[in-house]
């Protein structure tokens, strides 16, 4: 892929590089039980190799809450990786720890009421479940009995939110619909990470609809990578996680070899 090779070479030469990647479906296979998701070893190795290089920062950018992201990423306090959880509403930085916004008690109370109401609404659909999140919740339908059950469950929750929280942000993904009272997106997460790290170029990679905002926000000199075969704004697509891990490994090799 000569076009990819040229883009990677240019990216590798930038003075300060930010490599920011989505987690689920990008470096970890999707899992029916989301808290069992873990990075593929080859993806973890490539990210670790990049994070060890001078003037190179690696971040995970996810819709997961910061707490859950740290668990599934096996992220310790000694990790060099930055984190942006809840689509960028929560952050974690080496040496500083968690950076989280103050929650309004009224928002939290409404979140809890809507969570309970949504759980009750989907109880009749086997395989559908509601995941609590810091700023809202998500409806998971991956293990639903069939497409009609998925549609009915989503419609029931949509009706609740339309009536009681019409200003909440609604996001769709692969067999998931997420609702949140905060409106940050992965585009704002990338902008914040770019500023915090003083990056001169960014690689961002993702696999789902929620990653497209960030991919569209990239500028000249950046590189967007899509994992999978869906339509995307990314300049480069790779078929699966092992192929993306190989791309990251090549970027690490090129960056390690750049002249000081």
pLDDT digits (tens, 9 = 90+) for 29-70: 999 888 999 999 999 999 999 999 999 999 999 999 999 999
pLDDT band, very low/low/confident/very high, at 221 (cuts 50, 70, 90): very high
Domains and CATH numbers, the chain: 2-101+184-256 (3.40.50.1000), 105-180 (3.30.70)
Average pLDDT over the chain reads 95
Q: By C-alpha distance, which of 157, 92, 103, 104 is closest to 130?
A: 157
CB count within 10 Å of CB 181 equals 20
Q: By C-alpha distance, which of 110, 155, 168, 109 is closest to 128?
A: 155
* pLDDT for position 29: 96
Euclidean distance between CA atoms 26 and 40, whole angstroms: 10
pLDDT reading at 235 higher than 90: yes
pLDDT reading at 200 higher than 60: yes
Contacts of 20 (CB under 8 A, 6+ apart): 58, 59, 60, 61, 84, 189, 190, 193, 202, 203, 204, 205, 214
With residue 206 as reference, give the H or E element that holds it: strand 201-206
pLDDT reading at 2 higher than 70: no
pTM (2 decimals)?
A: 0.90
Query: Left if phi > 0, otherwise alpha if psi is -120 to 50, otherwise beta: which for 78?
Result: alpha
pLDDT band, very low/low/confident/very high, at 259 (cuts 50, 70, 90): confident
* pLDDT for position 127: 95
- Residue 153, both tokens: 């469950």
CB count within 10 Å of CB 255 equals 22
DSSP letter at 124? Answer: T
Q: Kindly report, residue by residue over 75-118, the tens digit of the pLDDT.
A: 999 999 999 999 999 999 999 999 988 889 999 999 999 999 99
Q: Which residues are 256's β-sheet partners?
A: none
Would you say 91 and 85 are in contact if contact means Cβ atoms under 8 Å apart?
yes
What distance, in Å, lies between the first and last C-alpha atoms of the chain? 27
Percentage with pLDDT > 70 across the chain: 99
pLDDT band, very low/low/confident/very high, at 145 (cuts 50, 70, 90): confident
Would you say 71 and 35 are in contact if contact means Cβ atoms under 8 Å apart?
yes
Token pair 């009706």 is at which residue? Answer: 159
DSSP letter at 142? Answer: T
Euclidean distance between CA atoms 214 and 233, whole angstroms: 9
* pLDDT for position 173: 87
Euclidean distance between CA atoms 43 and 20, whole angstroms: 13
* pLDDT for position 198: 98
pLDDT band, very low/low/confident/very high, at 15 (cuts 50, 70, 90): very high
């Amino acid at each position: 892929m000569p076009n990819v090779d040229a883009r990677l070479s240019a990216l590798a030469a930038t003075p300060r590089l930010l490599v920011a990647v989505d987690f689920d479906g990008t470096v970890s296979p999707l899992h029916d039980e989301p808290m069992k998701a873990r990075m593929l070893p080859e993806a973890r190795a490539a990210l670790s190799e990049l994070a060890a290089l001078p003037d190179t920062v690696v971040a995970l950018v996810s819709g997961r809450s910061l707490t859950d992201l740290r668990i599934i990423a096996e992220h310790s306090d000694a990790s060099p990786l930055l984190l942006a959880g809840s689509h960028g509403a929560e952050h974690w930085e080496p040496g500083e720890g968690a950076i989280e916004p103050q929650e309004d008690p009224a928002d939290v109370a409404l979140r809890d009421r809507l969570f309970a109401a949504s759980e009750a609404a989907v109880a009749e659909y086997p395989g559908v479940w509601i995941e609590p999140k810091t700023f809202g919740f998500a409806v998971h339908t991956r293990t639903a009995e069939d497409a009609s059950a998925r549609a009915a469950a989503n419609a029931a929750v949509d009706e609740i939110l339309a009536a009681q929280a019409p200003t909440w942000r609604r996001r769709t993904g692969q067999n998931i619909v997420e609702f949140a009272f905060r409106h940050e997106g992965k585009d704002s997460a990338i902008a914040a990470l770019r500023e915090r790290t003083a990056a001169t170029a960014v690689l961002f990679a993702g696999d789902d609809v929620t990653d497209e905002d960030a991919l569209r926000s990239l500028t000249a000199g950046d590189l967007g990578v899509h994992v999978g075969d869906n339509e995307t704004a990314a300049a480069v697509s790779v078929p699966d996680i092992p192929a993306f891990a190989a791309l990251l490994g090549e970027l690490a090799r090129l960056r390690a070899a750049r002249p000081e």
